Structure 1
Amino acid sequence: MNTFFEQNIILEDEFVQLRPLLETDVAHLLSISENEPETWKYSQIKADGKENLIHYIKLALHAKQLQTQFPFIVFDKKQQKYAGSTRFYDIQFHNQTLQLGYTWYGKDFRGTGLNKHCKFLLLQFAFEILNMERVEFRADNNNERSIAAMKSIGCTVEGVLRSNMPTGEGTSRRDSIVLSILREEWLGTVKENLKQKLQTK
């Protein structure tokens, strides 16, 4: 087994801490799960309600066992509360690529700068520790808030995959927008630009 998936990876700054997601984290995320169903409007896998949250975390940890994903729980140090979750997925060490997504936060943590801090830590780890050449992001092409957030951290839009997959409800299909950051872009301008934005929050 690749030892990366066994590591207790902690990513943190003065604003946020990301640590590996655990089964017991159901308790930390339950309030958002039960009271903020709109959080998963565009999600493929819903975590609304305790039963769905348990299922969501189990799926994430199973994918980690399969060495394709590494899920984190997000802790907001300013509010001293757990804010949500995010993860690396479709991890391909042989191609030096991964995707960053499955990101969601409770409503009290949106628009606070938390996401930019998380993304800075995750991108820095991906490019400078894991030595990735490309980090990819995808979203429902109708999810304007998510797309705006990805553009604001320095992602480049590559295009739209038409009728890419079923929606979370399974009643229709969605178009998926694809964005990315390359290693040379991160080391060139994206890292410094994002760091400057962190200092304004």
Structure 2
Amino acid sequence: MSFTSTPTLENDRIRLEPLALAHAGALAEATAEGELWRAWYTSIPDAAGMSDEIERRLARQRADDMAPWAIVDPATDRAIGMTTFCDVDESNLRLEIGYTWLARAAHGTGVNPAVKLLLLSRAFDDLGCIRVQFCTHWHNRQSRAAIERLGAKQEGVLRSHRVMPDGHLRDTVVYSILDTEWPAVRRGLQARLDSKR
């Protein structure tokens, strides 16, 4: 089973579909709501750049470097965000979950933990990963808090790690979950989702 394949994954709250150009219209609407693309500490495409971003992610998938999904609301069958497996290292049984964003209306609704439960289940249960990593901008406090609520452990900060599109240097905060920690993380995620019902 390839780490960069993208089967449809779903639970009772959300569906992850293989990312395709057909999702571009709905994703353009999702990013426009609240002008998510204006956040200086992350790289979310604007409506005009959505098709190019989808093509970029699909090219990385063809190069066995990324597994991109559209995050779809099953109640409306509309894409409300994107997520990926990236920094894939199949020989060392590790990958990163990243390049994730959600429409503003989905924030705080339980969609993010539902997505992470699907992705982590695939990584640990289906692919046999021993480590899953998360990285985010030091100043992206919302993302850092969400990653910490998953039960991921902060490993450190890579200073001046990446040049952002506007030219500023990003300090990257690195987190991970190990296979030995996954059972407790799964229970915590499931309890959070149960409390949102």
TM-score range, shorter chain: over 0.9
Where do 1:82-121 residues align within 5 Å? 82-121=79-118
Most deviating of 11-20 and 21-30: 21-30
Q: 2:175 maps to which residue?
A: 179
Q: 1:136 maps to which residue?
A: 133
**Which of 32, 36, 58 does residue 38 from structure 1 map onto?**
36
Q: Residue 131 of structure 2 aligns to which amino acid in structure 1?
A: R
Runs of at least 4 residues of structure 1 off by over 6 A? Answer: none
What secondary structure is seen at the aligned counterpart in 2 of 1:184? coil
1: CA distance between counterparts of 2:60 and 2:131?
A: 21
Q: Is the 2:155–2:175 Cα contact (8 Å) retained in structure 1?
A: yes
2: CA distance between counterparts of 1:89 and 1:28?
A: 23
What secondary structure is seen at the aligned counterpart in 1 of 2:170? strand
Where do 1:21-100 residues align within 5 Å? 21-39=19-37, 41=39, 42-44=41-43, 46-50=44-48, 52-78=49-75, 80-100=77-97
1: CA distance between counterparts of 2:174 and 2:140?
A: 12
What secondary structure is seen at the aligned counterpart in 2 of 1:199? helix
Aligned length: 195
**Which of 158, 161, 174 does residue 158 from structure 2 map onto?**
161
2: CA distance between counterparts of 1:38 and 1:8?
A: 25
Unaligned regions of 5+ residues in structure 1, if any? none
Q: Is the 1:85–1:103 Cα contact (8 Å) retained in structure 2?
A: yes
Tell me the CA shift for residue 21 of structure 1. 0.1
Tell me the CA shift for residue 173 of structure 1. 0.4
**Which of 186, 190, 194 does residue 195 from structure 1 map onto?**
190
Most deviating of 25-34 and 144-153: 25-34
1: CA distance between counterparts of 2:3 and 2:134?
A: 21
What secondary structure is seen at the aligned counterpart in 2 of 1:94? helix
After superposition, the C-alpha distances for 1:61-85 in whole angstroms (9 at most, x for unaligned) are 0000000100000112345532100
Unaligned regions of 5+ residues in structure 2, if any? none
What is the TM-score with the length of structure 2 in the denominator?
Answer: 0.93
Q: Residue 43 of structure 1 aligns to which amino acid in structure 2?
A: T
Change (3 A) 1:186 1:3: closer
1: CA distance between counterparts of 2:9 and 2:59?
A: 22
Identical positions, percent: 31
2: CA distance between counterparts of 1:11 and 1:86?
A: 12
CA RMSD, 1 decimal? 1.7
